[in-house]
Protein backbone atom coordinates (compact mmCIF):
# COMPACT_ATOMS: atom_id res chain seq x y z
CA UNK A 1 0.00 0.00 0.00
CA UNK A 2 1.28 3.46 -0.87
CA UNK A 3 2.19 5.75 2.00
CA UNK A 4 1.09 9.24 1.02
CA UNK A 5 2.24 10.85 4.25
CA UNK A 6 5.01 13.40 4.13
CA UNK A 7 8.46 12.64 5.46
CA UNK A 8 7.72 15.05 8.32
CA UNK A 9 4.59 13.17 9.37
CA UNK A 10 6.33 9.81 9.07
CA UNK A 11 9.24 10.81 11.27
CA UNK A 12 8.03 13.38 13.80
CA UNK A 13 7.29 12.33 17.39
CA UNK A 14 4.04 14.09 18.40
CA UNK A 15 3.33 15.41 21.86
CA UNK A 16 1.76 12.83 24.16
CA UNK A 17 -1.10 14.16 26.24
CA UNK A 18 -2.25 12.74 29.56
CA UNK A 19 -4.52 9.72 29.50
CA UNK A 20 -8.26 10.25 29.07
CA UNK A 21 -9.68 6.90 30.18
CA UNK A 22 -13.36 5.96 30.17
CA UNK A 23 -13.31 2.29 31.13
CA UNK A 24 -14.18 3.10 34.74
CA UNK A 25 -14.51 6.02 37.12
CA UNK A 26 -11.10 7.48 38.02
CA UNK A 27 -9.78 10.11 40.39
CA UNK A 28 -8.19 12.12 37.58
CA UNK A 29 -5.00 13.81 38.74
CA UNK A 30 -2.94 13.55 35.56
CA UNK A 31 -3.74 16.59 33.40
CA UNK A 32 -3.57 19.51 35.85
CA UNK A 33 -7.20 20.53 35.55
CA UNK A 34 -8.60 22.84 38.20
CA UNK A 35 -10.79 20.93 40.68
CA UNK A 36 -13.18 23.86 41.11
CA UNK A 37 -16.01 24.94 38.84
CA UNK A 38 -15.67 27.97 36.60
CA UNK A 39 -16.90 31.34 37.82
CA UNK A 40 -20.69 31.62 38.20
CA UNK A 41 -20.44 34.61 35.86
CA UNK A 42 -18.81 32.43 33.22
CA UNK A 43 -21.50 29.78 33.63
CA UNK A 44 -24.21 32.45 33.38
CA UNK A 45 -22.61 33.75 30.18
CA UNK A 46 -22.69 30.23 28.75
CA UNK A 47 -26.33 29.64 29.66
CA UNK A 48 -27.45 33.01 28.28
CA UNK A 49 -25.51 32.73 25.04
CA UNK A 50 -27.79 33.41 22.02
CA UNK A 51 -27.60 30.11 20.14
CA UNK A 52 -29.01 31.67 16.97
CA UNK A 53 -25.78 33.63 16.57
CA UNK A 54 -23.86 30.40 15.94
CA UNK A 55 -24.77 30.64 12.27
CA UNK A 56 -22.34 33.57 12.06
CA UNK A 57 -18.57 33.47 12.14
CA UNK A 58 -17.08 34.65 15.45
CA UNK A 59 -15.93 38.27 15.76
CA UNK A 60 -12.60 38.36 13.94
CA UNK A 61 -11.03 41.02 16.15
CA UNK A 62 -12.28 39.37 19.36
CA UNK A 63 -12.62 42.88 20.73
CA UNK A 64 -14.76 42.11 23.79
CA UNK A 65 -12.51 39.26 24.90
CA UNK A 66 -9.31 41.22 24.29
CA UNK A 67 -10.72 44.18 26.19
CA UNK A 68 -11.66 41.97 29.13
CA UNK A 69 -8.18 40.43 29.19
CA UNK A 70 -6.55 43.84 28.86
CA UNK A 71 -8.57 45.20 31.79
CA UNK A 72 -7.65 42.25 33.98
CA UNK A 73 -3.96 42.36 33.04
CA UNK A 74 -3.54 46.15 33.05
CA UNK A 75 -2.49 46.48 29.41
CA UNK A 76 -3.97 47.87 26.19
CA UNK A 77 -6.19 45.63 24.02
CA UNK A 78 -3.80 46.10 21.11
CA UNK A 79 -1.19 44.24 23.14
CA UNK A 80 -3.36 41.12 23.52
CA UNK A 81 -3.51 38.13 21.17
CA UNK A 82 -6.02 35.28 21.61
CA UNK A 83 -5.98 31.72 20.34
CA UNK A 84 -7.29 28.19 20.85
CA UNK A 85 -5.41 27.48 24.03
CA UNK A 86 -1.88 28.55 24.84
CA UNK A 87 -0.63 25.54 22.86
CA UNK A 88 -1.85 27.08 19.61
CA UNK A 89 -0.25 30.39 20.51
CA UNK A 90 3.05 28.74 21.39
CA UNK A 91 2.94 26.88 18.08
CA UNK A 92 2.44 30.15 16.19
CA UNK A 93 5.43 31.65 18.00
CA UNK A 94 7.85 29.41 16.12
CA UNK A 95 7.09 30.53 12.56
CA UNK A 96 6.49 34.07 13.85
CA UNK A 97 9.82 34.58 15.65
CA UNK A 98 12.25 31.87 14.52
CA UNK A 99 13.94 31.08 11.21
CA UNK A 100 14.72 27.58 10.01
CA UNK A 101 18.19 28.75 8.98
CA UNK A 102 18.75 30.84 12.12
CA UNK A 103 20.26 30.10 15.52
CA UNK A 104 17.01 28.57 16.67
CA UNK A 105 15.41 28.32 20.08
CA UNK A 106 16.83 27.55 23.51
CA UNK A 107 15.00 26.06 26.47
CA UNK A 108 15.46 23.63 29.34
CA UNK A 109 15.89 19.91 28.78
CA UNK A 110 13.17 19.13 31.31
CA UNK A 111 10.24 21.40 30.54
CA UNK A 112 7.01 21.42 28.54
CA UNK A 113 7.73 18.84 25.84
CA UNK A 114 5.61 20.59 23.22
CA UNK A 115 8.48 23.08 22.67
CA UNK A 116 10.70 20.51 20.99
CA UNK A 117 7.73 19.11 19.03
CA UNK A 118 6.96 22.57 17.65
CA UNK A 119 10.61 23.07 16.71
CA UNK A 120 10.62 19.80 14.81
CA UNK A 121 7.32 20.57 13.10
CA UNK A 122 8.51 23.98 11.87
CA UNK A 123 12.10 22.84 11.21
CA UNK A 124 13.52 25.19 13.84
CA UNK A 125 16.85 24.14 15.37
CA UNK A 126 16.96 24.13 19.14
CA UNK A 127 19.40 23.85 22.03
CA UNK A 128 18.57 22.22 25.36
CA UNK A 129 20.03 23.45 28.63
CA UNK A 130 20.15 20.77 31.35
CA UNK A 131 18.42 21.79 34.56
CA UNK A 132 20.58 21.95 37.65
CA UNK A 133 20.89 19.02 40.04
CA UNK A 134 17.99 20.41 42.10
CA UNK A 135 15.95 20.87 38.89
CA UNK A 136 16.22 24.66 38.99
CA UNK A 137 16.93 26.61 35.81
CA UNK A 138 20.13 28.66 35.64
CA UNK A 139 19.05 31.76 33.72
CA UNK A 140 22.65 32.93 33.26
CA UNK A 141 23.52 29.69 31.48
CA UNK A 142 20.41 30.02 29.32
CA UNK A 143 21.39 33.57 28.41
CA UNK A 144 24.85 32.38 27.35
CA UNK A 145 23.45 30.01 24.73
CA UNK A 146 23.46 31.15 21.09
CA UNK A 147 19.82 31.32 20.02
CA UNK A 148 17.37 33.49 18.14
CA UNK A 149 15.01 33.31 21.08
CA UNK A 150 14.43 31.71 24.47
CA UNK A 151 11.44 29.92 25.99
CA UNK A 152 10.90 29.58 29.72
CA UNK A 153 7.94 27.92 31.41
CA UNK A 154 7.34 29.71 34.69
CA UNK A 155 6.39 27.85 36.81
CA UNK A 156 8.07 25.02 34.98
CA UNK A 157 6.35 21.83 33.93
CA UNK A 158 6.64 19.09 34.99
CA UNK A 159 8.81 20.17 37.94
CA UNK A 160 6.51 22.94 39.21
CA UNK A 161 9.45 25.13 40.22
CA UNK A 162 8.88 28.88 39.85
CA UNK A 163 11.29 31.73 39.15
CA UNK A 164 10.63 34.95 41.12
CA UNK A 165 9.86 38.09 39.16
CA UNK A 166 12.94 39.85 40.52
CA UNK A 167 15.04 37.23 38.69
CA UNK A 168 12.97 37.38 35.51
CA UNK A 169 13.42 41.15 35.08
CA UNK A 170 17.24 41.16 34.68
CA UNK A 171 17.01 38.01 32.56
CA UNK A 172 14.71 39.74 30.06
CA UNK A 173 16.91 42.84 30.07
CA UNK A 174 20.05 40.80 29.41
CA UNK A 175 18.37 39.20 26.40
CA UNK A 176 16.99 42.40 24.86
CA UNK A 177 18.52 41.52 21.48
CA UNK A 178 16.27 38.46 21.07
CA UNK A 179 12.77 37.38 21.96
CA UNK A 180 12.00 35.90 25.37
CA UNK A 181 8.79 33.87 25.52
CA UNK A 182 7.49 33.20 29.02
CA UNK A 183 4.93 30.42 29.23
CA UNK A 184 2.88 31.32 32.32
CA UNK A 185 0.27 28.58 32.12
CA UNK A 186 0.54 27.95 35.87
CA UNK A 187 1.07 31.53 37.00
CA UNK A 188 -2.35 31.78 38.76
CA UNK A 189 -0.83 29.58 41.49
CA UNK A 190 2.38 31.63 41.80
CA UNK A 191 1.20 35.24 41.28
CA UNK A 192 4.49 36.69 40.03
CA UNK A 193 3.53 37.35 36.42
CA UNK A 194 5.91 39.18 34.11
CA UNK A 195 3.08 40.90 32.22
CA UNK A 196 4.01 44.34 33.69
CA UNK A 197 7.46 43.95 32.13
CA UNK A 198 5.96 43.81 28.62
CA UNK A 199 5.53 47.59 28.77
CA UNK A 200 9.25 48.01 29.46
CA UNK A 201 10.76 45.37 27.19
CA UNK A 202 9.78 44.98 23.54
CA UNK A 203 11.44 41.54 23.39
CA UNK A 204 9.11 39.94 25.95
CA UNK A 205 6.03 37.87 25.11
CA UNK A 206 3.99 36.37 27.96
CA UNK A 207 1.67 33.47 27.10
CA UNK A 208 -1.22 32.46 29.37
CA UNK A 209 -4.19 30.11 29.34
CA UNK A 210 -7.76 29.87 30.63
CA UNK A 211 -7.32 26.13 31.17
CA UNK A 212 -5.68 26.09 34.60
CA UNK A 213 -6.40 29.10 36.79
CA UNK A 214 -9.80 29.80 35.20
CA UNK A 215 -11.15 26.21 35.23
CA UNK A 216 -11.91 26.35 31.50
CA UNK A 217 -9.75 23.60 30.03
CA UNK A 218 -12.74 22.46 27.98
CA UNK A 219 -12.99 25.85 26.29
CA UNK A 220 -9.49 25.76 24.76
CA UNK A 221 -8.59 29.42 24.97
CA UNK A 222 -5.32 31.19 25.67
CA UNK A 223 -3.76 34.58 25.17
CA UNK A 224 -0.45 36.35 24.77
CA UNK A 225 0.63 39.80 25.88
CA UNK A 226 3.49 41.77 24.40
CA UNK A 227 4.71 44.65 22.31
CA UNK A 228 2.40 45.50 19.41
CA UNK A 229 5.01 44.33 16.87
CA UNK A 230 5.09 40.88 18.50
CA UNK A 231 1.30 40.67 18.54
CA UNK A 232 1.19 41.66 14.87
CA UNK A 233 3.66 38.89 14.09
CA UNK A 234 1.37 36.35 15.72
CA UNK A 235 -1.63 37.75 13.86
CA UNK A 236 0.12 37.37 10.51
CA UNK A 237 0.92 33.74 11.24
CA UNK A 238 -2.57 33.01 12.57
CA UNK A 239 -4.14 34.44 9.43
CA UNK A 240 -2.08 32.03 7.32
CA UNK A 241 -3.81 29.14 9.13
CA UNK A 242 -7.19 30.22 10.47
CA UNK A 243 -8.54 33.74 10.73
CA UNK A 244 -11.39 32.71 13.08
CA UNK A 245 -9.70 30.66 15.78
CA UNK A 246 -11.72 31.47 18.92
CA UNK A 247 -15.41 30.58 18.64
CA UNK A 248 -18.28 32.80 19.69
CA UNK A 249 -19.20 30.85 22.82
CA UNK A 250 -15.61 30.74 23.99
CA UNK A 251 -15.12 34.48 23.56
CA UNK A 252 -18.18 35.29 25.66
CA UNK A 253 -17.48 32.78 28.43
CA UNK A 254 -13.79 33.62 28.79
CA UNK A 255 -14.49 37.36 28.85
CA UNK A 256 -16.93 36.80 31.72
CA UNK A 257 -14.46 34.54 33.53
CA UNK A 258 -11.47 36.84 33.49
CA UNK A 259 -13.62 39.71 34.75
CA UNK A 260 -14.38 37.72 37.92
CA UNK A 261 -10.96 38.01 39.49
CA UNK A 262 -12.19 37.80 43.08
CA UNK A 263 -13.79 34.38 42.52
CA UNK A 264 -10.66 32.90 41.00
CA UNK A 265 -8.38 34.45 43.59
CA UNK A 266 -10.35 32.58 46.26
CA UNK A 267 -10.46 29.26 44.41
CA UNK A 268 -6.82 29.28 43.37
CA UNK A 269 -5.78 30.15 46.91
CA UNK A 270 -7.65 27.00 47.94
CA UNK A 271 -5.64 25.03 45.36
CA UNK A 272 -2.42 26.44 46.80
CA UNK A 273 -3.48 25.48 50.32
CA UNK A 274 -4.22 21.93 49.16
CA UNK A 275 -0.90 21.86 47.33
CA UNK A 276 0.95 22.56 50.56
CA UNK A 277 -1.12 19.96 52.43
CA UNK A 278 -0.40 17.39 49.73
CA UNK A 279 3.31 18.22 49.74
CA UNK A 280 3.49 17.64 53.49
CA UNK A 281 1.43 14.43 53.34
CA UNK A 282 3.60 12.96 50.57
CA UNK A 283 6.76 13.88 52.44
CA UNK A 284 5.53 12.00 55.51
CA UNK A 285 5.04 8.95 53.31
CA UNK A 286 8.64 8.88 52.13
CA UNK A 287 8.35 10.99 48.98
CA UNK A 288 10.79 13.66 47.87
CA UNK A 289 8.64 16.52 46.60
CA UNK A 290 10.02 19.42 44.58
CA UNK A 291 9.01 22.92 45.74
CA UNK A 292 6.01 23.52 43.49
CA UNK A 293 4.49 26.89 42.60
CA UNK A 294 1.91 25.34 40.28
CA UNK A 295 -1.27 23.30 40.71
CA UNK A 296 0.62 20.01 40.75
CA UNK A 297 3.48 18.39 42.63
CA UNK A 298 6.42 16.42 41.25
CA UNK A 299 7.37 13.62 43.62
CA UNK A 300 9.40 10.43 43.86
CA UNK A 301 9.43 7.75 46.52
CA UNK A 302 12.59 6.47 48.17
CA UNK A 303 11.64 2.81 47.72
CA UNK A 304 9.30 2.72 44.70
CA UNK A 305 10.03 3.39 41.04
CA UNK A 306 7.96 6.12 39.42
CA UNK A 307 6.42 3.66 36.97
CA UNK A 308 5.41 1.42 39.85
CA UNK A 309 3.70 4.26 41.69
CA UNK A 310 1.87 5.25 38.52
CA UNK A 311 0.73 1.70 37.71
CA UNK A 312 -0.32 0.85 41.26
CA UNK A 313 -2.33 4.06 41.57
CA UNK A 314 -3.94 3.44 38.20
CA UNK A 315 -4.98 -0.04 39.30
CA UNK A 316 -6.67 1.59 42.30
CA UNK A 317 -8.55 4.12 40.18
CA UNK A 318 -6.22 7.11 40.57
CA UNK A 319 -4.55 8.61 37.51
CA UNK A 320 -1.28 10.53 37.79
CA UNK A 321 1.31 11.35 35.10
CA UNK A 322 4.57 9.46 34.61
CA UNK A 323 7.34 10.44 32.20
CA UNK A 324 9.71 7.66 31.15
CA UNK A 325 12.58 10.06 30.53
CA UNK A 326 16.13 10.34 31.86
CA UNK A 327 16.51 12.04 35.25
CA UNK A 328 12.75 12.11 35.95
CA UNK A 329 11.68 8.48 35.45
CA UNK A 330 11.37 7.98 39.23
CA UNK A 331 9.00 10.93 39.57
CA UNK A 332 5.27 11.21 39.13
CA UNK A 333 3.47 14.47 38.43
CA UNK A 334 0.35 14.68 40.56
CA UNK A 335 -2.35 17.29 40.00
CA UNK A 336 -3.58 19.03 43.13
CA UNK A 337 -7.21 18.03 43.25
CA UNK A 338 -10.00 18.83 45.65
CA UNK A 339 -9.64 17.85 49.29
CA UNK A 340 -11.63 14.67 48.61
CA UNK A 341 -9.58 13.79 45.53
CA UNK A 342 -6.33 14.31 47.40
CA UNK A 343 -7.57 12.18 50.27
CA UNK A 344 -8.41 9.41 47.79
CA UNK A 345 -4.90 9.64 46.38
CA UNK A 346 -3.32 9.43 49.83
CA UNK A 347 -5.53 6.49 50.80
CA UNK A 348 -4.46 4.66 47.64
CA UNK A 349 -0.81 5.40 48.38
CA UNK A 350 -1.21 4.11 51.93
CA UNK A 351 -2.63 0.88 50.52
CA UNK A 352 0.31 0.58 48.12
CA UNK A 353 2.87 1.24 50.84
CA UNK A 354 1.33 -1.41 53.08
CA UNK A 355 1.85 -4.16 50.48
Q: What is the mean pLDDT of the chain?
A: 96
DSSP state of 37: P
The pLDDT tens digits of the residues spanning 202-217 come to: 999 999 999 999 999 9
Does CATH place domain 7-37+262-354 in 3.90.1150.10? yes
Angle at 11 between CA 7 and CA 17, to 5 degrees: 130
* CA–CA distance, 214 with 222 (Å, rounded to integer): 11
Which CATH number is associated with domain 50-260? 3.40.640.10
Helix, strand, or coil (residue 17): coil
* CA–CA distance, 249 with 265 (Å, rounded to integer): 24
The pLDDT tens digits of the residues spanning 256-310 come to: 999 999 999 999 999 999 999 999 999 999 999 999 999 999 999 999 999 999 9
The pLDDT tens digits of the residues spanning 146-156 come to: 999 999 999 99
Mean pLDDT, to the nearest integer, of 100-123? 97
Q: Are the beta carbons of 294 and 190 closer than 8 angstroms? A: yes
The domain limits of the chain are: 7-37+262-354, 50-260
Q: What pTM does this model have?
A: 0.96
Amino acid sequence: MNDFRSKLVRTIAPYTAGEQLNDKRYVKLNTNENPYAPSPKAIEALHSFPADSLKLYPPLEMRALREAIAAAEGVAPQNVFCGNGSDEILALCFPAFFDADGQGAAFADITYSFYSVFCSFFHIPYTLLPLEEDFSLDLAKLTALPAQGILVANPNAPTGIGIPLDEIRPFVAQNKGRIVILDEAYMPFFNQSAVPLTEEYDNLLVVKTFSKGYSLAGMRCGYAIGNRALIEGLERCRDCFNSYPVDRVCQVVCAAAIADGAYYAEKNAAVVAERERLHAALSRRGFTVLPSKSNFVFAKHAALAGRTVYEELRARGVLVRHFAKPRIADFCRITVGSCAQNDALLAALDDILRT
